[in-house]
C-alpha cells in the first residue's frame, strides 16, 4: 500500500489512507473479495447487498470480506428501491451490517431518510449518492454524513439531468455543507488531483475497476473493457425515467427500439433488463445481452491487474500531477498592470 498522499475530510471520516472509493457494482459484482482488495489497498469499497442469486450470499460476502481485511473499516452498498417494500428490505439487512462491523454505507436510489436513524444508532457513516447537485439539500436534510455526486459519464445510473462531472465537481463543493465525493469518469491520478483541487474530498470509481483481477466477472469481458475506448456506451430507459448508461449491446439496442415505440410497460423490458440476464453475461463473458454498466472511464482501464496495482498507478499519476502543478507559476492577481 502506498504512503498517504492526501489527507481529506473523507479519509478522516472513513478511516482510510487514500481518498479513493470504489462504488458498489451490480448485480452482485462487488463481492467480498473485491471490496477487501480495495480496502487493503487503502481505499474504501462497498459490498453490494442486493441482486444475489442465493438469499444468504450477502452474508457470505461480508464474511469473506471481513476475513480478508482484519479489523479495518468496511462499507456496504445499500440500494433503496422506489417500489413497495424497498425500505423494509434494507432495514431487514441491518443486523448483518452490525454483525460484520460495517462502518459505512453508500446509499442510492430512493431517499435514505427512513433508514438513516437506524444506521446512525449503529454508528454507521452514511454517504448518499446523488446524480445531480439539486438533490444536495435532501442529503443534508436527512442527515447524511457525506454526499457522492455522480456525473453524466458514470456507468450505471447517471440520473436524468445528464450534467458532466467537470461542472458538478466544481459546483457541488461550493454549495455543499457536507464533504463531497466526486464520481463519474474517474480513472487517473491527475483527475483525482483535479477533483481535490475543485474542493472535493475524494473520488469514487466504478468502470475503471472492471479490470480488477479480484472481480469474478469473466476474463473475456475484462479483456473487452481493456480494448474499450470509452464511448461504446448508450443511455437507455430514458422513457422510463430510469436513465441507465450501459454498453451498447443487443439488449441495449432492443430497449432503445422499445422506447422509440413509446412503450412504457416495464414487462416489455424485463427480458432484456433483468438482473439474471446481466449476471449470466458477466459469468459467461458474452456481453451481447444484458444491461452492462459501462462509463467513459473504461478508456483508462488498459490492463487486467490486481486492485492494489491499479491504486498504485493512480497514486503515482497523482504524484506526478502534483509535481507538475508545483512548477506552474500563475502570475499572482494584481501583478498585471
Partner 1 sequence: MSDLTMRNLFGVEYPIMQSGFRFLARAPFVAAVSNAGALGTLSAHTLPTGTALRQEIRATRKLTDRPFAVNLTLLPENVAEFPYDDYVDVIISEGIPVVETSGARPASYIEKLKRGGVKVIHKCTSVRHALSAAKYGADAVCVTGFESAGHPGEDDVPTLVLVPRVVDEVRIPVIASGGFADGRGLAAALSFGAIGINMGTRFLLTQEALFHEDSKRALIEFGERDTTLIARNLGDSVRVLKTTATREVLALEARGASREEILPLIDKERWYNALLSGRIDEAPIPVGAALGLISDVPDCKTLVQRIVAQANVVLDRLAAARAALSPA
Report the interface residues with partner 1, using CB under 8 A: 3-8, 132-134, 151-153, 161, 163-171, 174, 184-188, 190-191, 193-199, 230-231, 296-297, 299-300, 321-322, 324-326, 328, 330-334, 336
Least spacing, CB of residue 2 vs partner 1, in Å:
12
Q: Retrieve residue 96's grid coordinates.
A: 448483518
Q: Measured from the CB atom, is 55 or 334 closer to partner 1? A: 334
Q: Retrieve residue 285's grid coordinates.
A: 463473458
Least spacing, CB of residue 98 vs partner 1, in Å:
34
Do you find a cis peptide bond into 27, omega within 30 degrees of 0?
yes
Distance of CA 278 to CAs 88, 149, 197, 271, 288, Å?
Answer: 25, 25, 37, 10, 10
Burial 181-213 (b: 16+ CB within 10 A, else e): bbbbbbbbbebbbbbbebbbbbbbbbbbbbbbb
Least spacing, CB of residue 4 vs partner 1, in Å:
6
Q: Measured from the CB atom, is 62 or 195 closer to partner 1? A: 195
Q: Pairing state of beta strands 202-205 and 180-183?
A: parallel
d(CA 180, CA 182): 6
Q: Retrieve residue 276's grid coordinates.
A: 439474471
Q: Measured from the CB atom, is 49 or 165 closer to partner 1? A: 165
d(CA 207, CA 203): 13
Least spacing, CB of residue 50 vs partner 1, in Å:
29
d(CA 233, CA 152): 12
Least spacing, CB of residue 132 vs partner 1, in Å:
7
Least spacing, CB of residue 228 vs partner 1, in Å:
12
Q: Measured from the CB atom, is 3 or 56 closer to partner 1? A: 3
Q: Measured from the CB atom, is 96 or 166 closer to partner 1? A: 166
Least spacing, CB of residue 166 vs partner 1, in Å:
4
Least spacing, CB of residue 165 vs partner 1, in Å:
5
Q: Measured from the CB atom, is 162 or 254 closer to partner 1? A: 162
Q: Measured from the CB atom, is 71 or 327 closer to partner 1? A: 327
- Asked whether the beta carbons of 206 and 154 are under 8 A apart, the reply is yes
d(CA 196, CA 169): 9
Q: Measured from the CB atom, is 213 or 259 closer to partner 1? A: 259
Burial-class residue 168 by CB neighbours within 10 Å (0-12, 13-18, 19+). Answer: buried
Within the chain, strands assigned E span: 20-22, 44-48, 75-80, 104-109, 125-130, 146-150, 180-183, 202-205, 233-236, 244-247
Amino acid at each position: 500500500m502506498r504512503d498517504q498522499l492526501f489527507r481529506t475530510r473523507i479519509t478522516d471520516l472513513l478511516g482510510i489512507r487514500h481518498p479513493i472509493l470504489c462504488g458498489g457494482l451490480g448485480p452482485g459484482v462487488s463481492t467480498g473479495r473485491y471490496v477487501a482488495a480495495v480496502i487493503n489497498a487503502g481505499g474504501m469499497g462497498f459490498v453490494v447487498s442486493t441482486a444475489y442469486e442465493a438469499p444468504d450470499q450477502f452474508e457470505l460476502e461480508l464474511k469473506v470480506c471481513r476475513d480478508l481485511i482484519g479489523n479495518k473499516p468496511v462499507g456496504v452498498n445499500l440500494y433503496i428501491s422506489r417500489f413497495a417494500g424497498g425500505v423494509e428490505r434494507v432495514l431487514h439487512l441491518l443486523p448483518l451490517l452490525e454483525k460484520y462491523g460495517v462502518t459505512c454505507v453508500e446509499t442510492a436510489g430512493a431517499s435514505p431518510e427512513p433508514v438513516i436513524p437506524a444506521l446512525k444508532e449503529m454508528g454507521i457513516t452514511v454517504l448518499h449518492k446523488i446524480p445531480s447537485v439539486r438533490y444536495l439539500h435532501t442529503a443534508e436534510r436527512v442527515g447524511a454524513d457525506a454526499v457522492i455526486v455522480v456525473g453524466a459519464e458514470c456507468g450505471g445510473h447517471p440520473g436524468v439531468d445528464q450534467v458532466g462531472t467537470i461542472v458538478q465537481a466544481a459546483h457541488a463543493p461550493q454549495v455543499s455543507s457536507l464533504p463531497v465525493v466526486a464520481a463519474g469518469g474517474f480513472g487517473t491520478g491527475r483527475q483525482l488531483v483535479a477533483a481535490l483541487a475543485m474542493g472535493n474530498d475524494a473520488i469514487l470509481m466504478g468502470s475503471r475497476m472492471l479490470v480488477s483481477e479480484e472481480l469474478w466477472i469473466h476474463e473475456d469481458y475484462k479483456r473487452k473493457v481493456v480494448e474499450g475506448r470509452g464511448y461504446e456506451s448508450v443511455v437507455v430507459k430514458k422513457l422510463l425515467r430510469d436513465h441507465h448508461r450501459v454498453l451498447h449491446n443487443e439488449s441495449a439496442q432492443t430497449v432503445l427500439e422499445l422506447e422509440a415505440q413509446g412503450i412504457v410497460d416495464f414487462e416489455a423490458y424485463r427480458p432484456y433488463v433483468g438482473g439474471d440476464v446481466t449476471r449470466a453475461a458477466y459469468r459467461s463473458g458474452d456481453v451481447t445481452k444484458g444491461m452492462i454498466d459501462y462509463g467513459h472511464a473504461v478508456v483508462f482501464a488498459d490492463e487486467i491487474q490486481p486492485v492494489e496495482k491499479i491504486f498504485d498507478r493512480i497514486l503515482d499519476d497523482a504524484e506526478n500531477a502534483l509535481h507538475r502543478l508545483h512548477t506552474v507559476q500563475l502570475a499572482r492577481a494584481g501583478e498585471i498592470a
